[in-house]
Amino acid sequence: MVKICCIGAGYVGGPTMAVIALKCPKILVTVVDISISRITAWNSDQLPIYEPGLDEVVKQCRGKNLFFSTDVEKHVSEADIIFVSVNTPTKTRGLGAGKAPELTYWESAARMIANVSTSNKIVVEKSTVPVKTAEAVERILTFNSSNISYQILSNPEFLAEGTAIQDLLNPDRVLIGGRETPDGQKAVQALKDVYSHWVPEDRIITTNLWSAELSKLAANAFLAQRISSVNAMSALCEATGANVSQVSNAVGKDTRIGPKFLNASVGFGGSCFQKDILNLVYICECNGLTEVAKYWEQVIKVNDYQKNRFVNRVVSSMFNTVSGKKIAILGFAFKKDTGDTRETPAIDVCRGLLGDKAWLSIYDPQVAEDQIKKDLSMNKFDWDHPVHLQPSNTAAVNQVSIVGDAYEATKDAHGICILTEWDEFKTLDFQKIFDNMKKPAFVFDGRNIVNVKKLREIGFIVYSIGKPLDPWLKDTPAVTRDK
Ligand SMILES: NC(=O)c1ccc[n+]([C@@H]2O[C@H](COP(=O)([O-])OP(=O)(O)OC[C@H]3O[C@@H](n4cnc5c(N)ncnc54)[C@H](O)[C@@H]3O)[C@@H](O)[C@H]2O)c1
Ligand SMILES: O=c1ccn([C@@H]2O[C@H](COP(=O)(O)OP(=O)(O)O[C@H]3O[C@H](CO)[C@@H](O)[C@H](O)[C@H]3O)[C@@H](O)[C@H]2O)c(=O)[nH]1
């Protein structure tokens, strides 16, 4: 029986291995992690991450051919194929701080593999890593053990949170990069054999190692670039009276462009886009490609601009101050159908409003109170380290209350900011909400999900990203705020 071990039981390691176990009943899959609380949760009825369809898959396989364990060394030493899916956060200190990825967790995983291995291994990079990481891993492994052959493969993951199970069951492509030697190609084939259980042959792409590593960074950069492009257009739409949804629709009808990923928003979030683009920018800089680095960096700058612009709209519309005003925040996760808050635009918007002394009442159907408080008190990039290494002092978030539903959040509020596109926000009783708010009552829709016409009829002053402005907002400036 082939044995697979995955190091890192996070948003990628957990769902990916669950689907491999589901589709390959004859493969024994064990997911290991240094975080005891995460592994305990994976073994309980309350999984550590919220992902539609994940519970069912885990329940079907757990205890049969899918196991979760903290006994990292034992399972690594027994495995034939080892996936490494550990954190690769942006460095906060030292060389490349603020851009380069921190490869400490990767390096310690590689050293541990070398220490405990007694048989040949295929080591698969699942984490998103800089180009040429496989070479470094290869060196760590070969210099630290003898008589064992290691083949390193790059098999980046393209799942998106909220649709992870669907993405894994029916991927656009599976990408496998390996050495172009006979042994390298044998390893590529061994991993191909795993995915071939359910992924059609023509969707499994094989490349050299460096192409696979770079393709992951390139894919995220292209995706994020589309969002920054449409968000840049949204600012121009507001200035000219054009409607960004109509522009996106017209542009996306061109089959060369396509309709997906053209939704204007308060800004993109999530653990990957910013981190991976910064990683790409750093690699370009290291290779002397300054203009290329600047080109990609602009995607992040426009995203920051969009978040600032949103805060500016809120404050300037409400008589240039939100000091002492209650603002309801609907949605804190970085997108719907996930409880993940890593790099969510809600953090920047809330901080901006708190900076202007607003009182925030926050509701999100999937994010726990502790998490929100932690996010609002953590430093940039601290969030991407293993949970047990994150700062635990979350006491210092004043002027914020976390509530159990949207009606409570909006009661007696002066304004509402919609920051996540949860389906339940589309069907709220806005008449009831209006009746219970201070007047004039404002809605700032950062996801373009409300029916603007209907809300204006009720009496709300409505701001929707990239849409023709409410007469109230026409004279308020859309410039960015100083940080
Ligand atoms: N989240 C996504 O949607 C997504 C999608 C594609 C790729 N990625 C990439 O996959 C990687 C993992 O992302 P994630 O979202 O799953 O992160 P995560 O923080 O959810 O999970 C990483 C896990 O690795 C564990 N870990 C760290 N060092 C370890 C070690 N030495 N031994 C054992 N366990 C260790 C941590 O405790 C943590 O549970 C990152 O490189 C990320 O960029 C993420
Ligand atoms: O038209 C759009 C599409 C997305 N977003 C925002 O962009 C962010 C990222 O969304 P999405 O890409 O759907 O989720 P992620 O889970 O971050 O997935 C991205 O990052 C993963 C980690 O690398 C990759 O594996 C995925 O392919 C890639 O889509 C979220 O804040 C979305 O709200 C928009 O603002 N407008």
For residue 105, how far is its CA from the centre of ligand 1 (angstroms)?
Answer: 9
- Residue identifier of the C-alpha nearest atom 7 of ligand 1: 157
Q: Which one is predicted more confidently, 91 or 290?
A: 290
- At position 293, the amino acid (one-letter code) is A
Catalytic residues: 272
Tell which atom from ligand 2 comes closest to the C-alpha of 420: 33
Q: Mean pLDDT, to the nearest integer, of 37-47? A: 97
Predicted local confidence at residue 23, as pLDDT:
98
Shortest CA distance to 334 belongs to which of 384, 380, 282, 268? 268
The reply to whether omega before 440 is within 30° of 0 (cis) is yes
Average pLDDT value over all residues in the chain:
94
Q: Mean pLDDT, to the nearest integer, of 212-236? A: 97
Q: What is the dihedral of CA 337, 342, 344, 350, to 10 degrees?
A: 120
Q: Residue 472: which pLDDT band, with cuts at 50, 70 and 90?
A: confident
Is there an atom of ligand 1 within 6 Å of 127 CB?
Answer: yes
**Binding residue per annotation — 303?**
no
CA-CA distance, 341 to 367, in Å (whole number)?
8
**Binding residue per annotation — 63?**
no
Rg over CA atoms, the chain: 24
239-474 placed in CATH 3.10.129.10: no
Predicted local confidence at residue 482, as pLDDT:
46
CA-CA distance, 398 to 110, in Å (whole number)?
42
Residue 379 has pLDDT above 50, yes or no: yes
pTM: 0.95
Any idea what DSSP says for residue 91? P
CA-CA distance, 290 to 302, in Å (whole number)?
18
Tell which atom from ligand 2 comes closest to the C-alpha of 345: 31
Task: Give the strand order in the sheet containing 3-7.
Answer: 66-69, 28-32, 3-7, 81-84, 121-125, 150-154, 174-178, 204-208
Here the ipTM equals 0.98
For residue 144, how far is its CA from the centre of ligand 2 (angstroms)?
Answer: 38
**Ligand closest in space to the Cα of 228:** 2
Residue 131 has pLDDT above 90, yes or no: no
For residue 8, how far is its CA from the centre of ligand 1 (angstroms)?
Answer: 6
For residue 21, how far is its CA from the centre of ligand 1 (angstroms)?
Answer: 19
Strand, helix or coil at 444? strand
Judging by beta carbons within 10 Å of its beta carbon (0-12, 13-18, 19+), is residue 147 exposed, middle or buried?
Answer: exposed
Strand, helix or coil at 455? helix
**Binding residue per annotation — 274?**
yes
Predicted local confidence at residue 479, as pLDDT:
55
Domain boundaries, the chain: 3-199, 239-474
Over the range 309-321, which residues count as b (16 or more CB within 10 Å of their CB) and which as e?
Answer: bbbbbbbbbbeee
- Structure confidence by residue, pLDDT tens digits, 305-348: 999 999 999 999 999 999 999 999 999 999 999 999 999 999 99
Task: Give the strand order in the sheet containing 326-330.
Answer: 400-402, 359-363, 326-330, 415-418, 442-445, 461-464
Predicted local confidence at residue 481, as pLDDT:
47
Judging by beta carbons within 10 Å of its beta carbon (0-12, 13-18, 19+), is residue 230 exposed, middle or buried?
Answer: buried
Annotation: CATH topology of 3-199:
Rossmann fold (3.40.50)
For the record, the structure tokens of 282 come out as 């750093």
Predicted local confidence at residue 343, as pLDDT:
95
**Binding residue per annotation — 121?**
no
Shortest CA distance to 134 belongs to which of 202, 216, 73, 204? 216
CA-CA distance, 44 to 37, in Å (whole number)?
11
With a pLDDT cut of 70, the percent of the chain lying above it is 95
Predicted local confidence at residue 42, as pLDDT:
98
Is there an atom of ligand 1 within 6 Å of 271 CB?
Answer: yes
Tell me if domain 3-199 and domain 239-474 are identical in fold.
yes
- At position 92, the amino acid (one-letter code) is T
